Amino acid sequence: MDNAGLAKKLASLAQLDFDAAQAYNEAAPMVGKSDSEIREHILLFYEDHKRHAKTLSDAISGLGELPPHFSIDIMGYAFEDVTLLLGATGTFGAMIALEQNEKLVAQAYADMLDDSDFSKFPMDVQSIFKAYYDDEKRHLAYIESVLHQIEPALKK
């Protein structure tokens, strides 16, 4: 695969990570005041996604290609759509919307690791994809564990 082809894949992940960072940014104020531990995780995950987007952009520059200009509008609307559609509010609404988002991002990284060209990517890019996929699985696992705790309480 040529550098331009790889840069395109990196750019699509960078945009996804940037969108995910925006989603966390929008979700943070929705979290209930008493849920400070969840809010801390949201802020950590927000930082992870920002770091991912930055590192992926730097990797694109390293290939001699132009990194993407991030657009914030699209995700803002998508995030609102999810919360409105589900009628979910507060911590539960935030976590439901973030779960949808994390599934998308985790799947995108899983697809990258399954890419038939994966073994031909530069070693540093392979390492980034593997490490970030682990981050995404960790984010998703945390969100799902929180939802498992919240959902039974909501049904009472």
Give the interface segment with Fe ion, choosing from 56-64, 91-99, 108-116, 138-146 (CB under 5 A): 138-146
CA distance 37 to 146: 11
Torsion of CA 96, 101, 104, 106, to 10 degrees: -90
Nearer of residues 40 and 117 to Fe ion, judged by Cβ: 40
Contact residue for Fe ion among 79, 139, 142, 146 (CB under 5 A)? 139
Total H helices, total E strands in the chain: 5, 0
Nearer of residues 65 and 136 to Fe ion, judged by Cβ: 136
Strand, helix or coil for residue 153 = helix
- Shortest approach of Fe ion to residue 24 CB, angstroms? 8
Residue 41 touching Fe ion (CB under 5 A): no
What token pair was written down for 149? 């705790």
- Shortest approach of Fe ion to residue 4 CB, angstroms? 27
Instruction: Lay out the site mask for Fe ion across 107-136 (x = CB under 5 A, - = otherwise).
Output: -----------------------------x
> 28 phi and psi, to 5 degrees?
-55, -45
CA distance 8 to 14: 10
Q: Which residues bind Fe ion (CB under 5 A)?
A: 102, 136, 139
